[in-house]
Amino acid sequence: MIRVRDLEKSYGDLAVLRGVDLDVAPGSIVALLGSNGAGKTTLIKILTTLLKADAGTATIGGVDVATQPAQVRESTSLTGQFAAVDESLSGRENLVLIARLRHLKDAGAIADDLLARFQLTDAGGRRVSTYSGGMRRRLDIAMSLIGDPPVIFLDEPTTGLDPQSRQEVWSTVEALAERGTTILLTTQYLDEAERLADRIAILHGGRIIADGTLAELTRLFPPASVEYVEKQPTLEEIFLAIVGEDDAA
């Protein structure tokens, strides 16, 4: 569903992406890990047509993001690091607004369906300013689903949320994947990647330096043993071993 080949992007003399290759299968969740400044958000911006690459190719569902950006936007949605909701409106009004901007019929019915799917029906008539962090993020993701895009990009969706709100968002993302939505998730929370991702890609030095399931990445890390009991490495230990502790700091 998502295919990236030899993607490059520089800001002046700073090369951020230096030949990125990445594949995301339909209906799967891929977590993109990397230190601050590794280029995760830059890659997401290129894939969502907000930024142009210097070299390489990227396609969404076989559609080139550089030459057919309008078609790509019709089939994708982006949820950024901060909830893009209007706090002066109610949850339902936010959803109706987006549905109307997309020129969809029965905007009210679409809003009511999404409120139900995201367990927000009781709060639908309240102003978003009264919502908790998890509720705002769930509403934000619900807004991104209007029009049923087959591909969703989640750029650090749980940044700044408390543990309970993070659990709410995780459950929401898992439900989306069960419905067949393809999800590319960037995160700095390694437990989030462990919980959600079918595959994990590590972006470092402008390239994808590791890509596989958690089990496959675990095999890259030699097991330690204490009194003949094998210790399985955590994803955090694997990540630091691959990129180096100094680079990840």
Length of the chain, in residues: 249
pLDDT at residue 247, rounded to an integer: 60
* Residue 217 forms part of a structural domain: yes
* Residue 107 forms part of a structural domain: no
Contact 154, 186 (CB under 8 A): yes
Average pLDDT on 47-75 reads 95
Structure token pair of residue 153:
């990009």
Q: In this structure, what are the phi and psi dihedrals at residue 182, rounded to the nearest 5 degrees? A: -85, 130
Reported confidence tier of residue 233, pLDDT bands at 50, 70, 90: confident
Task: State the pairing for strand pair 182-186/151-155.
Answer: parallel
Q: In this structure, what are the phi and psi dihedrals at residue 88, rounded to the nearest 5 degrees? A: -80, -15
pLDDT at residue 159, rounded to an integer: 79
Reported confidence tier of residue 166, pLDDT bands at 50, 70, 90: confident
Average pLDDT on 19-36 reads 94
Nearest-angstrom CA–CA distance, 171 and 7: 32
Average pLDDT on 91-114 reads 93
pLDDT at residue 189, rounded to an integer: 85
Q: Does the structure show a pLDDT above 70 at 227? A: no
Mean per-residue pLDDT over the chain, rounded: 89
Q: Does the structure show a pLDDT above 90 at 232? A: no
Average pLDDT on 150-166 reads 84
* Residue 36 forms part of a structural domain: yes
Average pLDDT on 12-32 reads 95
pLDDT at residue 83, rounded to an integer: 66
Average pLDDT on 227-244 reads 77
Range of the domain at 37: 2-84+150-248
pLDDT at residue 14, rounded to an integer: 93
Nearest-angstrom CA–CA distance, 168 and 205: 33
Structure token pair of residue 229:
């009991």
Higher pLDDT, 43 or 169: 43
* Residue 239 forms part of a structural domain: yes
Residue with tokens 């807004």: 143
pLDDT at residue 188, rounded to an integer: 82
Average pLDDT on 67-85 reads 86
DSSP annotation string for 95-114: HHHHHHHTT-S-HHHHHHHH
Reported confidence tier of residue 42, pLDDT bands at 50, 70, 90: very high
* Residue 159 forms part of a structural domain: yes
60-64 own/partner pairs: CB under 8 Å, 24+ apart: 60/1, 60/2, 60/151, 61/1, 61/150, 61/151
pLDDT at residue 230, rounded to an integer: 67
Contact 118, 143 (CB under 8 A): no
Tally of structural domains, the chain: 1
Structure token pair of residue 33:
């890990």
Residue 26 belongs to domain with CATH number? 3.40.50.300
* Residue 235 forms part of a structural domain: yes
* Residue 163 forms part of a structural domain: yes
Nearest-angstrom CA–CA distance, 119 and 100: 22
* Residue 89 forms part of a structural domain: no
Q: Quick one: the chain helix, strand, coil %, rounded to 5? A: 35, 25, 35
Alpha-helical regions (H) of 76-149: 91-101, 107-117, 133-144
Q: Does the structure show a pLDDT above 70 at 248? A: no
